[in-house]
Amino acid sequence: MSRPVTLFTGQWADLPLEKLAEKASAWGFDGLELACWGDHFEVDKALSDDAYVRAKRDLLARYNLTCFAISTHLVGQCVCDPIDARHKAILPPYVWGDGDPEGVRQRAAEEVKATARAASLFGVDIVNGFTGSSVWAKLYFFPPTSQADIDAGYQDFAQRWLPILDVFQAQGVKFALEVHPTEIAYDIYTAQRALEAVRHHPAFGFNFDPSHFIHQFIDPVFFIEAFPDRIFHMHVKDSRVQLNGRNSILSSHLDFGDARRGWDFVSPGRGDVKWDRIIRALNRIGYQGPLSIEWEDSGMDREWGAPEALRMVRSQDFAPSAVAFDAAFQRQ
């Protein structure tokens, strides 16, 4: 079938886009999924300056790269989160403003709406991102979090995101939540709850990233099968469980890359994700979008890893069977 293979630029935002485009093109990627940070895709400039969008398009074309989606993980995170100092570093100053939590959340919501408009201008119909969550931090809590508290968290999510989703729909763009711990949906049951909270809004779906299910011990194939018409985009990212009786699956407040953690992200193909099964599941649901490599492995040089991951994906992206074998066995 040969779906396009793209590289998500979020982990390379320390490089100017041109430099990254040159590398990605040389490695053989078909396109880039542009992060809305660094100089990769700046929403304010895209909306205020016609030339900006055109220049980005030209740059990509020069390197024979396509863009199928842009990503607003950082700003999206601030829409529902309890805001604190850590959020300042991930926001543009005009969104952070005076840092008052509710003001930040509202400006972030406006920025996500603006991102939908910028995507539309740029000719892209998928925006990936995070949503934040007012209840994530209360996941395992003592004194216990009541179900009423949890319900309130999903209502808060619905109230803040429904107006945003309406803007997306008006622009003909879809929002794909990367289902991920720290977000309003991080597994199958919370994804169901989130969908119900926004009453199955047509502009709301998922950026499927199997790596976030591995350390939860969820089979990513079940996620695909649970939401066949809501997989708007996907990330190729891998994770590995490394338990030995001493390491905790909660990972002990230790940084990624520390061998005492119970799990860690690794270069795609070196973790516990079974890619063959995922391709079969994507074939079953008819997913035709890009396979976008989000490369993150704290133990490997990224320039070794990205082309290795690309080769792995190419070796897996097969088409479904076109013949019925029983029929072949029959006489004509």
- Of all helices (H) and strands (E), which one includes residue 235? strand 231-236
Give the one residue of 66, 106, 145, 169 binding a copy of itself; rule: CB under 8 A.
Answer: 145
Residue in the structure block whose two tokens are 């990605």: 24
> Closest distance between a copy of itself and the C-beta of residue 302, in Å?
6
> Closest distance between a copy of itself and the C-beta of residue 294, in Å?
10
In this structure, which amino acid lies at residue 198?
A: V
Of the candidates 278, 269, 255, the one whose C-alpha atom is nearest the C-alpha of residue 310 is: 269
Give the one residue of 217, 229, 286, 314 binding a copy of itself; rule: CB under 8 A.
Answer: 217
Give the one residue of 105, 113, 174, 180 binding a copy of itself; rule: CB under 8 A.
Answer: 180
Under the criterion CB under 8 A, does residue 321 sit at the interface with a copy of itself? yes
Give the binding range for a copy of itself (CB under 8 A) out of 6-14, 24-32, 44-52, 110-118: 6-14
Under the criterion CB under 8 A, does residue 18 sit at the interface with a copy of itself? no
Of the candidates 1, 85, 72, the one whose C-alpha atom is nearest the C-alpha of residue 34 is: 72
Give the binding range for a copy of itself (CB under 8 A) out of 22-30, 121-129, 156-164, 292-300: 292-300
Angle between helices 73-80 and 147-171 (to 10 degrees): 130
Q: How far apart are the first and last CA of the chain?
A: 29
Of the candidates 195, 182, 80, the one whose C-alpha atom is nearest the C-alpha of residue 136 is: 182
> Closest distance between a copy of itself and the C-beta of residue 7, in Å?
13
> Closest distance between a copy of itself and the C-beta of residue 109, in Å?
17
Give the one residue of 91, 114, 234, 273 binding a copy of itself; rule: CB under 8 A.
Answer: 91
Under the criterion CB under 8 A, does residue 281 sit at the interface with a copy of itself? yes
Chain residues 50-89 in contact with a copy of itself, contact rule CB under 8 A: 73-74, 77, 86-87, 89
Under the criterion CB under 8 A, does residue 208 sit at the interface with a copy of itself? no
Give the one residue of 51, 98, 144, 288 binding a copy of itself; rule: CB under 8 A.
Answer: 144
Of the candidates 202, 207, 204, the one whose C-alpha atom is nearest the C-alpha of residue 178 is: 207
Under the criterion CB under 8 A, does residue 229 sit at the interface with a copy of itself? no
Under the criterion CB under 8 A, does residue 288 sit at the interface with a copy of itself? no
DSSP class per residue in 157-212? HHHHHHHHHHHHHHHT-EEEEE--TTSS--SHHHHHHHHHHTTT-TTEEEEE-THH
Between β-strands 263-266 and 238-241, what pairing exists: parallel, antiparallel or unpaired? Answer: antiparallel
Could you tell me if 197 and 157 are in contact, meaning their C-beta atoms sit under 8 angstroms apart? yes
Could you tell me if 80 and 105 are in contact, meaning their C-beta atoms sit under 8 angstroms apart? yes
Smaller CB distance to a copy of itself: residue 50 or 151? 151
Per-residue binding string, a copy of itself, 230-269, x by CB under 8 A, is ------------xxxxxxxxxxxxxxxx-xx-x---x---
> Closest distance between a copy of itself and the C-beta of residue 240, in Å?
9
Which structure tokens are listed for 12? 């390379």
Per-residue binding string, a copy of itself, 149-168, x by CB under 8 A, is xx------------------
